[in-house]
Chains A and B, each alone.
Chain A
Amino acid sequence: MQVKHAEQAQTNPRYKAAVRDLLLQLADDELCIGHRDSEWLGLAPDIEEDVAFSSIAQDEVGHAAFYLNLLRDLDGEDPDAAAFFRKSRDRRNAVLAERLNGDWAETIVRRYFYDVFDEIRTEALRESSYVPLARGVAKIRREERYHLMHFQLWFTRLSAAGGEARERMNRAVEGLWPEVKGCFSLGGWERQLVASAVISLDSNEMERRWLNRMKPVFAQAGLQWPGPLPMVNQDGRCGAHSSHLEELLQTMGEVVRQDPAARW
């Protein structure tokens, strides 16, 4: 089955609801992580990273806007309102994406974990039955490739450096590991999403692929393998979030709330 455009999706309420939920997962992940990236502006360890993080943040927020535009086509929701004014319980991002940046090691580890996950997820969307999504993802993957390359380089370099760098990397891995599983969750609509081929992999298979990709990188980088991924306490895909998201939304919406009708 192929659903070529929003009007066609609207004729099937369950399909539409599942796609809507997935679009929010995608948009909210990219929006949160893009916002966290932007927090490094002016503070990154060197000028190159300042430039890199601003560029990457811009890409991610652009991707979030793209997904929110698909959402508007689907059910008329205003993209700006969805980005700025939705309550945290209506957000569908993984908790990993909302976390504070932490130190540089934690930033790099979170980013790399997320980008490998996102690569697997977007691969699973390339043949999506929802054609507008499949098309967008084809384009977005061409851009994400650069992010992944960048963070893989940092991840292996910092780990291989030994000393304090590797210590911090190990500490960052340990701190982030309990949140990783939350990325693979597809939320309340997983069965519908997989059954109607909106996405070609279920959460278990995405997790398996992620672990398979990560293991050799850990070995090569000389990092301790922390073992199986534990269950998460809060499933962000179902609207359960940490206080970090509340803080993020406060900051992100600070300007727009001063005058929601202002034009920029």
Chain B
Amino acid sequence: MGNGRETEVMRALQEVKDPEIPAVSILELGMVNQATVTGHHVRVEVTPTFVGCPALDWIHGQIVEHLKKIPGIEEVEVVFVIDPPWTSDRITLEGRRKLESFGIAPPPKTEDPDPLNTVPRCPYCGADQGEVKNLFGPTACRSIYYCKHCRQPFEGMKAV
């Protein structure tokens, strides 16, 4: 088992992207709890961003596909767990940066008490004077905001 193998696993997991936000990997989203290599077997523990996330089967398939490319890996086991629960605070700094450059505002910190009055910086122009347009967005993990400075709607990740 050895560290080299585990580094390779991490590198492969970095290639597994969120199907809705292909700029960001599941590692950067903080969805991977751990990956353990034992001989030819690797076990990956993944925590879904939302309980009802419809992309889990797809992500499962992608993990298997990418990890099987590693020489010596024959069996890939993917387990979805919700303990500890995923929270938006688990998104890495790199993940937050990539989200913003993709045009999706990274989530406010979950300690912020009131999502109805917490508006992230506009990912297009960087202005702060936005408003909440809709707590709910095109996917479970996103809200919709409106930037009063550049006058366009933008999406942001929910603080969950």
Contacts and interface: CB of A to CB of B under 8 A. Distances in A.
Given A52-B135, A59-B50, A62-B51, A146 B158 contact: yes
B108 interface: no
Interface stretch (B6-14, B37-45, B69-77, B82-90): B82-90
Nearest to A55: B136
B51 A149 contact: no
Interface residues of B, number: 23
Nearest to B54: A58
A143 interface: yes
Contacts of B137: 51, 55
Contacts of A146: 115, 135-136, 158, 160
A63 B136 contact: no
B145 to A, nearest CB: 12
A143 B51 contact: yes
B144 interface: yes
A51 B138 contact: yes
A62 B83 contact: no
Contact of A52 (B116, B134, B158): B134
Contacts of B134: 48, 51-52
A223 B51 CA distance: 35
Nearest to B53: A62
Interface string A128-146: 0000000110111011001
B2 interface: no
Contacts of B138: 51
B37 to A, nearest CB: 25
A140 B140 CA distance: 13
B126 to A, nearest CB: 25
A26 B158 CA distance: 25
Given A51-B144, A52-B135, A139 B51 contact: yes
Contacts of B52: 58-63, 65-66
Contacts of B50: 59, 62, 143
A20 to B, nearest CB: 20
A138 B85 contact: yes
Contacts of A142: 85, 87, 160
A161 interface: no
13 contacts: A48-B144, A51-B144, A52-B136, A59-B50, A62-B50, A135-B85, A138-B85, A139-B82, A143-B160, A146-B115, A149-B115, A149-B135, A150-B135
Given A48-B136, A62-B53, A135-B83, 10 more contacts: A48-B144, A51-B138, A52-B136, A55-B136, A55-B140, A56-B136, A58-B52, A65-B52, A149-B135, A150-B136
Instruction: Rank and list the top 3 A-B pairs by shortest CB-CB distance, nearest first.
Output: A62-B52, A139-B85, A55-B136
